[in-house]
Structure 1
Amino acid sequence: MPCCLAAPHALLRALHSAARRGTAQARHLHDPDPDPDHAPDAVSAVNLELVTLTEDRAVITWHTGVAGSDDGFGRMLPAVTEGEVVYGTHPAHLNRTAAEDRDTAHHYVELTDLEPGQTYYYQARSRGSAATPTPLHLVKGNAVGTSLHGFGTHAGPYSFTTPQPPPGRHLLSIALCNDLHLGETTAGLVTGMPLMRGISQRLGLGPYPEIMGRALVEEAHRRGARLLLAAGDISAGGAPRDLSEARRLLDGFGTHGQDYFVVRGNHDRRGRQGLHEEGGDNFLDAFPASDGGSGDGPAYFARDLGGLRVLGLDTYEKRGNGAGSGGLSDEQLAWFRADVRAHKDQPTVVFGHHPLTVRNSPFPVTSGQRLNRRQARAILDAYAAAPGVFLHHAGHTHRNKRTLLPQARHVTLQEVGAVKEYPGGFCLLRIHTGGYALNYYKTSSAPAREWSERSRRVAAGLWPQYALGRSVRDRNSVTPRDLSGITPAAARISAAQG
């Protein structure tokens, strides 16, 4: 959960209601999963989500539990069973089936060979039980489709319409990710709410940040990403050991500074934990912004990648304990404005940890959730005069949210859900000559799916109302744009730091 996220006023009554179960929760802090060989007679299928929607595929997930059971947290014990999705182009004729190849409680089905611009109807089922959607009623959202079809019947079928693909030829794909939090042991601690217990990993299993970090690398490769941009909070507190472990995990994707790039978040802070005795910077020791860096230079940078300009921002370039709003130094802000002005027509992606704005949140928005207001306005002003900038990727909020602002409507501001907890994944940026698509993927390994389901209990189980994305469009979108100046060679550096 974001370190600066305050307890939600709008959800306060619901949180207090869930907190009354605190005594029962305390007796089950390490609740065991049932015997995986046990097949319960009564299965309930819940938490249905249409996670990913592209022009030719859809990823659908849900969870099965033992009906009538209670794990001590007010949730069902997981039930290992089969899963399938039946679908078609008419709600009364679901004539196609996609099934999983093994039984599980954490279901993940991918529909392929869909037609662009076509409306499909579907129902997810496990042992004859139709899956019901993740409720997003507090944010008036829709977790399962692009229309409200099926909601009146409780069990669907639900519907979605596939988008048209980005125009032109595919050039390259880039994984956008953030908030790995290596070293963290408890997810979802809420300041000022002592009964809102955090969620820890089950006894005997590996640390969840490492499980999710490895799954990120594997899934990004499998989805065809040739570059990876990690927008901060790589570690839980800037400790050298955690940053080194993050470097080891991300090196599984490729070479730092060539195949993947990293910027600082507030958890990678420059405070007491983030600076070592010699005065250097632990974060830059692990992830130098320039070749041969040793922790004594800036943590922001620019790269030319085959016609694509990538700017990495250090949005916590200040000493501190990780609290407060994001901040750039005056030197960095001046550098940024000059660079954007000098390359105003070049296709450009900017990434940094703190978002420029936080819109449509069910939680009260505090200054700690975003970049300093004055600096955010200065960045938007720079974008307004730079038609080449098309995407600003941020983390920190741990949610999926797409925002367009009137000051620079040609720039998509995309917040991406955290790697380390529910929904647990990354956004794939697919660049074509005539536009780009943004598609969110949950990591699909079995350990990652188990932890993702377990960590949805953050904020007394209300976390999905915030983190998943209020609509499918918050995590999947297509934007026409002339990007023909980018070449597939963008997988390698074509120029030194700008």
Structure 2
Amino acid sequence: MRCCLSAPLAALSSLPSPCEILRSGALLAPALLRAAADALHDPVRRNRPRHPDTLAAVNLELVTLTEDGAVITWYTGVPGTGDGTGHMLPAITEGEVVYGTHPARLNRSAAEDRPTAHHQVELTDLEPGQTYYYRAQSRGVAATPTPLHLVRGNAVGTNFHGLGSSGGPYSFTTPPPPPGRHLLSIALCNDLHLGETTAGLMAGVPLMRGVSQEPGRAPYPEVMSRALVEEARRRGADLLLAAGDISAGGSPPDLAEAKRILDGFGAHGRDYFVVRGNHDRPGHSNHGSVGDSCQDAFREEFLGGEGPAYFARDLGGLRVVGLDTYRKDGNGADSGGLGAEQLSWFRGRLKEHKDQPTLVFGHHPLTVRDSVFPVTGGQRLDRREARSVLDAYAGAPGVFLYHAGHTHRNKRTVLAQAPHVTMQEVGAAKEYPGGFCLLRIHSGGFALNHFKSSGVPAREWGERTRRVAAGLWPHHALGRSVGDRNSVSAHDLSGIARPAEQGLACSPVGRP
């Protein structure tokens, strides 16, 4: 069985209950019918004549929102055309955002420096705590939002102002800055899937055809991973953490290519760190079967064949703990597992220095909530082990963040058992929305901000793959609210040194 999505779609192979299927059927059935219609009519739509004097501006998204800036994206296409995936052919034109502090006075503007169909405009020098109104437009046509009605979401603002009209203006309020002085920034990413060839391919569901790269172009996992590294550096990341599914099938060539790409950020074990995902498990092949040799290519490539794939590092007062959330035998579609040895080690490390500022990252989330798709056990860590991890968090006030991937979505969760820990699921690097989360650590708190990878090939692929899951993918992957991909939290992190003060020198803490 070929499985290109770790979750939530691939988890369907682990047989959700009839109740789970019924709950999601009302959502999935219309999408499947639309996919069937697209399959029948794509050739007709592809060959319709273009109308160069008309365009549609769609898929408007407020991707990034910081205390003093915002990144806004949208797409312009030619109405009445299709590219074979149910998506309009591109209309290359100019784009601008007009904005201001009153909906009737949009007296400031920001524009792109060249025409494109994949628009990205960044607003700068905004005031913290200020409400802004804006309209994005191309050739006088106002852009309309990515619809998130299935999850009662909002892609374009922090409130629902403007959503009842066509083209806005929409509204957002900038957050306050994280308390204290800035110490360092860390790029959080996951699900690179080097070696994958089709995004969104689902075994046994023929109408979910998946999306492939256009002929003659570089493999999309390489395009997106290289763009991620470049964007993370451009946004000022001092470190990079990759939370699993580095490869699509655990093959040595794919993991070697992944390491070559990540080495563009710096040195492994000093400037960036990786942990294993279920797709990186030993003996897993690109075809989803277990190899005879059960070679652990992930361990060989990133660990030199020595030691376990979990670790703790002290980075100038910041403790970074990497978990191997698939330290087990299995087919990859079942729940994640730490194993008794790793779980005991983890709980012991947190008890030893329970007040030390600590960031934990691993592939599987502890829990999955508010998903548009059926939630199965394969989307999360084993329930018993997840409760044990949560208990460890509750007894360690210094833990402030758990970064997970696997679900391929942006989702922020705070649980009552450990309210001081932000559980942040980060969207896949390899497909829409395509990017990473930048963690900005200050002495009195931290900010999490999602950034799309902004290179032209990355923008094109990100737009192309919003058609995954018969067009339902944005409802799942983007984040139902701006707060699911951009947030600010208070936490005492004053014990962490700046990179210039620590030289980013890594000393092992509790290495097994």
Q: TM-score under structure 2 normalisation?
A: 0.92
SS at match of 1:257: coil
Match of 1:483 among 479, 485, 493: 493
Residues 397 and 343 of structure 1: is their aligned pair in 2 closer, same or farther, counting only changes over 3 Å? same
Aligned CA-pair RMSD: 2.0
Alpha-carbon distance in 2 for matches of 1:491, 1:193: 51
Q: Which amino acid aligns with 2:6?
A: P
Pairing of 1:374-393 with structure 2 (within 5 A): 374-393=384-403
Q: Which amino acid aligns with 2:71?
A: V
Alpha-carbon distance in 2 for matches of 1:381, 1:438: 24
Counterpart of 1:317 in structure 2 is: 327
Residues 462 and 318 of structure 1: is their aligned pair in 2 closer, same or farther, counting only changes over 3 Å? same
Quote the offset at 1:17 in angstroms. 1.7
Contact 2:247/2:255, CA 8 A, preserved across alignment? yes
Match of 1:2 among 3, 6, 22: 6
Alpha-carbon distance in 1 for matches of 2:272, 2:474: 29
Residues 272 and 404 of structure 1: is their aligned pair in 2 closer, same or farther, counting only changes over 3 Å? closer
SS at match of 1:377: helix
Alpha-carbon distance in 1 for matches of 2:432, 2:235: 20
Q: Which amino acid aligns with 1:128?
A: G
Counterpart of 1:271 in structure 2 is: 283
Alpha-carbon distance in 2 for matches of 1:55, 1:488: 21
Match of 1:16 among 13, 21, 32: 32
1:459 equivalenced with 2:469 (yes/no): yes
Residues 307 and 67 of structure 1: is their aligned pair in 2 closer, same or farther, counting only changes over 3 Å? same
Q: Which amino acid aligns with 2:238?
A: R
Alpha-carbon distance in 2 for matches of 1:390, 1:27: 51
Quote the offset at 1:280 in angstroms. 5.0
Contact 2:249/2:284, CA 8 A, preserved across alignment? no
Contact 1:425/1:440, CA 8 A, preserved across alignment? yes
Alpha-carbon distance in 2 for matches of 1:276, 1:469: 36
Quote the offset at 1:67 in angstroms. 2.1
SS at match of 1:173: strand
1:469 equivalenced with 2:475 (yes/no): no
Alpha-carbon distance in 2 for matches of 1:272, 1:469: 30
Counterpart of 1:402 in structure 2 is: 412
Alpha-carbon distance in 2 for matches of 1:286, 1:491: 25
Counterpart of 1:85 in structure 2 is: 97
Counterpart of 2:301 in structure 1 is: 286
Pairing of 1:80-479 with structure 2 (within 5 A): 80-273=92-285, 281-288=296-303, 293-294=304-305, 296-479=306-489
Quote the offset at 1:39 in angstroms. 8.4
Contact 1:186/1:199, CA 8 A, preserved across alignment? yes
SS at match of 1:246: helix
SS at match of 1:203: coil
Contact 1:434/1:481, CA 8 A, preserved across alignment? yes
Alpha-carbon distance in 1 for matches of 2:249, 2:412: 28
Quote the offset at 1:278 in angstroms. 7.0
Contact 2:67/2:127, CA 8 A, preserved across alignment? yes
Alpha-carbon distance in 2 for matches of 1:33, 1:62: 23
Quote the offset at 1:19 in angstroms. 2.7
1:423-461 deviation line (CA, Å, top 9, x unaligned): 000000000011000000000000000000000000111
SS at match of 2:508: coil
SS at match of 2:98: strand
Size of the aligned set, in residue pairs, is 489
Quote the offset at 1:285 in angstroms. 1.0
Alpha-carbon distance in 2 for matches of 1:151, 1:258: 46
Alpha-carbon distance in 2 for matches of 1:488, 1:85: 36
Q: Which amino acid aligns with 1:318?
A: K
Moved more, 265-274 or 210-219: 265-274
Contact 2:283/2:296, CA 8 A, preserved across alignment? no
Alpha-carbon distance in 1 for matches of 2:226, 2:44: 28
Q: Structure 1: where are the runs of 5+ without partners?
A: none
Alpha-carbon distance in 1 for matches of 2:142, 2:408: 29
Quote the offset at 1:164 in angstroms. 0.4
Residues 33 and 169 of structure 1: is their aligned pair in 2 closer, same or farther, counting only changes over 3 Å? farther
Q: Which amino acid aligns with 2:495?
A: G
SS at match of 2:177: coil
Alpha-carbon distance in 2 for matches of 1:231, 1:416: 9
Moved more, 38-47 or 448-457: 38-47
Q: Which amino acid aligns with 2:395?
A: A
Alpha-carbon distance in 1 for matches of 2:353, 2:363: 22
Q: Which amino acid aligns with 1:20?
A: A
Quote the offset at 1:480 in angstroms. 1.1
Quote the offset at 1:318 in angstroms. 1.4
Alpha-carbon distance in 1 for matches of 2:66, 2:426: 17
Counterpart of 1:51 in structure 2 is: 63
Contact 1:469/1:475, CA 8 A, preserved across alignment? yes
Quote the offset at 1:497 in angstroms. 4.0
Q: TM-score under structure 1 normalisation?
A: 0.95
SS at match of 2:222: helix
Alpha-carbon distance in 2 for matches of 1:453, 1:315: 31
Contact 2:6/2:279, CA 8 A, preserved across alignment? no
Alpha-carbon distance in 2 for matches of 1:88, 1:190: 45
Q: Which amino acid aligns with 1:11?
A: L
Alpha-carbon distance in 1 for matches of 2:466, 2:383: 31
1:436-491 deviation line (CA, Å, top 9, x unaligned): 00000000000000000000000111100000000000000000111100001356
Residues 41 and 476 of structure 1: is their aligned pair in 2 closer, same or farther, counting only changes over 3 Å? same
Alpha-carbon distance in 2 for matches of 1:381, 1:28: 57
Residues 349 and 46 of structure 1: is their aligned pair in 2 closer, same or farther, counting only changes over 3 Å? same
Contact 2:195/2:248, CA 8 A, preserved across alignment? yes
Alpha-carbon distance in 1 for matches of 2:201, 2:81: 26
1:322-360 deviation line (CA, Å, top 9, x unaligned): 220001111000000000111100000000000000011
Quote the offset at 1:12 in angstroms. 1.8
Residues 491 and 192 of structure 1: is their aligned pair in 2 closer, same or farther, counting only changes over 3 Å? farther
Alpha-carbon distance in 2 for matches of 1:275, 1:188: 22
Alpha-carbon distance in 2 for matches of 1:461, 1:491: 46
1:389-435 deviation line (CA, Å, top 9, x unaligned): 00000000000000000110000000000000000000000000110
